[in-house]
Amino acid sequence: MNLQNNPESALYILFGAVIIIFLIFDLGFFNKNAHKVSLKSATYQSIFWVVISVAFGFLIYKYDGGAEVSLEFFSAYLTEYALSVDNIFVILLILRYFKIKEEYYHNILFWGVLGAIVFRAVFIFLGAYLVAQFHWILYIFGAFLVYSGVKIFFQKADDDLDPEKNVIIKFARKYLKITKGDFNGKFFVKRGQKFLFTPLFLVILLIESTDLIFAVDSIPAVFAITQSEFILYTSNIFAILGLRAKFFLLAGIIDRFYLLQKGLSFILIFIGAKMLLEFLDIHISIIVSFSIIVSTLLLSILISILVPQKKELSKELTNLEK
């Protein structure tokens, strides 16, 4: 299909092809056997997905709307990419809680990403339909984002996680037969005529349910940037596809970026306020929005590095004394 004649349809096909090729090569060729993902591999994968996302944004700029539409894509992509940091932190806590071996992380996150691709498609296209029918829903999204941003700002980063309180986990433990062993990374095993589910299956259920919770924040946020289903879905999924590589890249150092949570809360408050201001016919341009999102992320990361947290600083001083 010619990009110039029907750019959005052609880009949708290209987008779908990238996802399918990724799924086939990732699980079918490169990662057949369970193994621990190295920092080097995670770095290359992270760079790869960022480059692919930027290239897709460039194609949007060239063939489907110019600078304004491509900025919408990059703003939505950066917002989702940034908000997924909290998702990474929770996933790490879940894996540690269930004492999952590191060589199984990759397989679990692969299926977690696959589920996110499907569920977020449902969220986004349903949300787009509702917004098209009832525009005032955007103002509810805005109020909710402001509330979520304030809540996240005052939330403690080290709040305890108790997966056993999750409704889905309670249901699974009640109605499914759960084994105690991991059976070499399998999600279920057959014993006679019965299927038994492993703890890894519970982890998948928990990761999928927590991703849906995070989507409640992140998807309304990108609706403030654009109501185009094409931009909404492609930016969201490109950010999700890069999530797994980013997980392995940040898993060991994520605690150092202690101000990132505050930065993310500010972004949510800003985006929510932007949506509410439109009710008063006050519109903030996409260039201003993009600049605020990028500068907030950079500042929160930079200050976290330059001004270490007190407990982190005390650890470093103790190591120097030794």
In this predicted structure, which of 225-229, 277-281, 313-317 has the lowest mean pLDDT?
Answer: 313-317
Q: Can you tell me the distance from the alpha carbon of 257 to that of 65, in angstroms, rounded to the nearest whole number?
A: 36
Tokens 């120097």 belong to residue: 320
pLDDT value for 115: 85
pLDDT value for 321: 44
Tokens 């996110």 belong to residue: 116
pLDDT value for 53: 92
pLDDT value for 54: 93
Mean pLDDT over 184-212 rounds to 83
pLDDT tens digits for 36-92?
777 788 888 888 889 999 999 999 998 877 888 899 999 999 888 888 777 777 788
Higher pLDDT, 99 or 231: 231
pLDDT value for 320: 40
CA 166 to chain centre: 20
Q: What percent of the chain has pLDDT over 90?
A: 8
Contact 233, 125 (CB under 8 A): yes
Q: How many CB atoms lie within 10 A of CB 125?
A: 13
Residue 313 pLDDT > 70: no
Q: Helices 137-154 and 260-277 sit at what angle, rounded to 10 degrees?
A: 160
Tokens 């949570």 belong to residue: 261
pLDDT value for 38: 77
pLDDT tens digits for 143-179?
988 988 898 888 765 555 667 777 888 888 888 888 8
Q: Which residues, 6 or more positions from 172, have their beta carbon under 8 angstroms from its beta carbon?
A: 178, 197, 201, 202, 205
Q: Helices 39-63 and 243-250 sit at what angle, rounded to 10 degrees?
A: 140
The pLDDT confidence band at residue 317, using thresholds 50, 70 and 90, is very low
- Return the biggest CA–CA distance within the chain: 67
- Which residues does residue 24 pair with via DSSP β-bridges, in sequence order? none
pLDDT value for 316: 45
Contact 275, 138 (CB under 8 A): yes
The SS3 assignment for 216 reads helix
Q: Can you tell me the distance from the alpha carbon of 11 to that of 132, in angstroms, rounded to the nearest whole number?
A: 23
In this predicted structure, which of 61-75, 207-221, 261-275 has the lowest mean pLDDT?
Answer: 207-221
What the block records as the tokens of 308 is 């270490």
Q: Can you tell me the distance from the alpha carbon of 296 to that of 149, in angstroms, rounded to the nearest whole number?
A: 14
pLDDT tens digits for 126-137?
888 888 888 888
The pLDDT confidence band at residue 234, using thresholds 50, 70 and 90, is very high
pLDDT tens digits for 15-37?
989 888 887 776 556 555 666 77
- The pLDDT mean for the chain works out to 81
> What residue type is assigned to position 34 of the chain?
A
Q: Which residues, 6 or more positions from 104, have their beta carbon under 8 angstroms from its beta carbon?
A: 34, 182, 185, 200
Q: Can you tell me the distance from the alpha carbon of 203 to that of 164, in angstroms, rounded to the nearest whole number?
A: 11
pLDDT value for 246: 81
Helices (H), the chain: 7-25, 39-63, 66-97, 105-133, 137-154, 167-175, 199-223, 229-241, 243-250, 260-277, 286-306, 310-321
The SS3 assignment for 227 reads coil
Q: Can you tell me the distance from the alpha carbon of 97 to that of 293, in angstroms, rounded to the nearest whole number?
A: 33
pLDDT value for 56: 93
Q: Can you tell me the distance from the alpha carbon of 141 to that of 219, in angstroms, rounded to the nearest whole number?
A: 9
What the block records as the tokens of 146 is 């402001």
pLDDT value for 2: 54
- Which residues does residue 178 pair with via DSSP β-bridges, in sequence order? 197
Mean pLDDT over 255-265 rounds to 81
The pLDDT confidence band at residue 311, using thresholds 50, 70 and 90, is low
pLDDT value for 255: 67
